[in-house]
Amino acid sequence: MSTALTNPVLVEVVRGGLVESVHRGSALVLGADGGVLAAVGEPDAVTFPRSAVKPLQAIGMLHAGLVLDEAALSIATGSHSGEPGHVDCVQTTLESAGLSVTDLQCPAALPMNEAARDALLAAGGGPQRAYMNCSGKHAAMLLTCLANGWPTGSYLDAGHPLQVHLRGVLTEYAGEALDPVTVDGCGAPLFGMTLTGLARAFLRLADESGAAREVADAMRAYPFLVAGTGREDTELMTGLPNLLSKAGAEGVHVAAVPGAGAVVVKIDDGNERARMPVIVAGLRRLGLTGEVLERWATGKVLGGGRPVGTIRAAEGSWLAP
């Protein structure tokens, strides 16, 4: 039997007072000292952290000699929405090194942001690599290669010096071997990691000096570039200025607060709607409060365009308020 079938229900989708759907998963809350405050499911099972590791990759690139201003460093950690401010930042970063969007090897995409996508299509535009949510990371990877004299045409190969270096940094921060190796949606190498390892790594990101502090400060200074208008990471870090928050695909999310701890979740079915009730509940276990947590603690279930239910942490679960 798969872990996904045995993990507990973390989130309920309620319509008209009836639990219509549920989402199972694993989650973990670590205290500031790294001790486990709460755990559910299989936080030591290996999963793919997806874009949640981008801030850690940014640390690795700084260690390898990358030099960026705070805005460009923030978007290097992000999964941006493809809004004009995001695209301008990526293009400016590339142009500063004599590169262009044609040097990016991430797939072409349309903006995730609905307004930006509609405006682009209305103007006769189409998918471009700069609109892809990982283009900031890819721009930073190219600049890191230039800083070291490494080839840029093969920067996504798992055996490329850049990727070998980044795997070593991720291994150090997670405190565990990373395996298996596959390819992320943007084309970059992707390594298996446990939720425990991811939470440990974010504790270090939140508390360390040096390159980690540079990355953390950039994310806090430019939360819009980490995600975008109306998105979770941007709103959480805007509403809770000390917080570091990063979502990944397939139901992964991790957040950390210096001096408080870290919380991480993996929703088994990968549904993004189930992440935030768990993350908010975990942050509350760390003692955080605020209006932004109230707003993201539950999601809306709509009927005919109006709210008729809610998406909430499962009643009676370890994370329920």
Tokens of 307: 């709210």
How many residues are recorded in the chain? 321
- pLDDT at site 315: 74
Say if residues 74 and 222 touch (Cβ distance below 8 Å).
yes
Look at residue 318 and tell me if it is in a domain.
no
> How many separate domains does the chain show?
1
CA–CA gap between residue 7 and residue 40 (Å, rounded): 8
In this predicted structure, the answer to whether residue 1 has a pLDDT above a threshold of 50 is no
Q: What is the CATH number of the domain that holds 8?
A: 3.40.710
Say if residues 257 and 288 touch (Cβ distance below 8 Å).
yes
Look at residue 296 and tell me if it is in a domain.
yes
Tokens of 70: 């705070």
Q: Which structural domain, as residue segments, surrounds residue 259? A: 3-313
Look at residue 293 and tell me if it is in a domain.
yes
In this predicted structure, the answer to whether residue 3 has a pLDDT above a threshold of 60 is no
Q: Tens of pLDDT along 114-154?
A: 999 999 999 999 999 999 999 999 999 999 999 999 999 99
Say if residues 29 and 218 touch (Cβ distance below 8 Å).
no
Look at residue 284 and tell me if it is in a domain.
yes
**Contacts for 320 with CB less than 8 Å, ≥ 6 apart:** 281, 313, 314
CA–CA gap between residue 304 and residue 275 (Å, rounded): 24
Q: Tens of pLDDT along 267-300?
A: 999 999 999 999 999 999 999 999 999 999 999 9
* pTM exceeds cut of 0.85: yes
Burial class (CB in 10 A: 0-12, 13-18, 19+), 183: exposed
Look at residue 228 and tell me if it is in a domain.
yes
In this predicted structure, the answer to whether residue 73 has a pLDDT above a threshold of 50 is yes
Look at residue 188 and tell me if it is in a domain.
yes
Average pLDDT across the chain, whole number: 96
Q: Tens of pLDDT along 19-65?
A: 999 999 999 999 999 999 999 999 999 999 999 999 999 999 999 99
In this predicted structure, the answer to whether residue 4 has a pLDDT above a threshold of 60 is no
**CA proximity to 318, closest of 55, 96, 29:** 29
Look at residue 236 and tell me if it is in a domain.
yes
Question: What percent of the chain lies above the pLDDT cut of 70?
Answer: 97
Q: Tens of pLDDT along 146-191?
A: 999 999 999 999 999 999 999 999 999 999 999 999 999 999 999 9
Of 5 and 154, the structure prediction assigns the larger pLDDT to 154
Across the strands, what pairs with 252? 248, 266
Look at residue 319 and tell me if it is in a domain.
no
**Contacts for 99 with CB less than 8 Å, ≥ 6 apart:** 139, 142, 143, 146, 152
Q: Which pLDDT band, with edges at 50, 70 and 90, does 241 fall under?
A: confident
User: CA of 132: how far to CAs of 104, 138, 152, 225, 279, in Å?
Assistant: 10, 10, 19, 13, 25
- Specify the DSSP class assigned to residue 8: P
